[in-house]
Amino acid sequence: MSRRFGCKIMIMSMLLVVLFIIPPALSEEAEIPEIAITDPPGDFEVAAGNVTISVEVMNFSLADKFGQENVAKEGHIHYYMDTPVPTEPGKPAISSPGTYLPSVEIAHTWQNVTPGQHNFSVQLVNNDHTPLDPPAVSSVNVTVVNASEEVVVDLIARGVAFNTKSITVPAGARITMKFDNQDSGIRHNFALYDSAAAKRVIFKGDIITGPRTIVYTFQAPEEPGVYFFRCDPHAQIMNGQFVVR
């Protein structure tokens, strides 16, 4: 009996260890300060100019106490652009001027960001600007591209002919084309090709039977040059130059 009693005591002791020691450890781990970039997502394209980085902060209080005494789980955010994140313990997590910004806001807008590949990072830091232990860091790589120019084009099909033989747009522009087929009972469309040989389609609009209007949206080629447009059902007589500058 004494041996069984001793085994029961041992089992109960182990259960107490599991119930009262392990949960607090898990709880402490779950409460480690964290930061995550929520926008933009990684490997994303954004327009050149102003780029806003938005973050989510967990288990950490943002406080406007720059340079003051450190308080556990309290401090601010360092926003970084195109620079390695400094994480050396005990040293201010600052980089060269213009590549970082201390803030208590959960979003920061970098201005006049040029086209190309850029890295944006954030880090939670103590009041004295030193990294946390362990460091709380998040980063994304983003491709910044030239903003597309919006262009509106009106094109009319009447008498089995287009109202123009030439359309000129900026390279890479976002085209909104209002296509008005005024020929009753006749099928027309707008289609854009690399050349008059029409071997490579750049954009092909739906064919509509007149009288009817449709709006096409498409991207102009990035490469400047002279391209070819036509009405597919009447390719020999309804065509023209699509000039990209």
Predicted confidence at residue 32, as pLDDT, reads: 97
**Strand ordering across the sheet containing 191-193:** 166-169, 239-244, 225-230, 191-193, 201-204
List domains and CATH numbers for the chain. 33-145 (2.60.40.10), 150-244 (2.60.40.420)
pLDDT along the chain (245 residues), means of 10: 50 51 49 96 86 97 97 98 98 97 96 93 99 98 84 97 96 93 98 96 96 95 95 98 96
3 state SS of 7: helix
Strand partners, 143: 45, 117
Predicted confidence at residue 192, as pLDDT, reads: 98
Predicted confidence at residue 19, as pLDDT, reads: 47
